[in-house]
Amino acid sequence: MNRGRESGVLKAIKVVHTIAWAFFAACIIAIPVVSWRGEQRAATWLAAIVLAEVVVLTINHWRCPLTLLAARYTDDRRANFDICLPAWLARYNKHIFGPLYVAGVIVALANWACQPRPPGCWLVH
Mind listing the pLDDT tens digit for each residue in 13-23?
Answer: 999 999 999 99
Residue 1 binned pLDDT confidence (cut-offs 50, 70, 90): very low
Collapsing DSSP to helix, strand or coil, 60 comes out as coil
pLDDT of 73 reads 93
Q: Is residue 110 part of a domain?
A: yes
Provide the residue range defining the domain that includes 85.
3-114
Q: Is residue 26 part of a domain?
A: yes
Residue 125 binned pLDDT confidence (cut-offs 50, 70, 90): very low
Q: Is residue 122 part of a domain?
A: no
**What is the number of other CB atoms lying within 10 angstroms of the CB of residue 82?**
25
pLDDT of 116 reads 73
pLDDT digits (tens, 9 = 90+) for 82-120: 999 999 999 999 999 999 999 999 999 999 888 776 665
Whole-angstrom distance, CA of residue 111 vs CA of residue 10: 43
Q: Is residue 123 part of a domain?
A: no
Q: Is residue 80 part of a domain?
A: yes
Whole-angstrom distance, CA of residue 125 vs CA of residue 111: 11
* CA angle, 18 then 64 then 42, to 5°: 70
pTM value is 0.85
Whole-angstrom distance, CA of residue 13 vs CA of residue 71: 10
Total domains in the chain come to 1
pLDDT digits (tens, 9 = 90+) for 27-70: 999 999 999 999 999 999 999 999 999 999 999 999 999 999 99
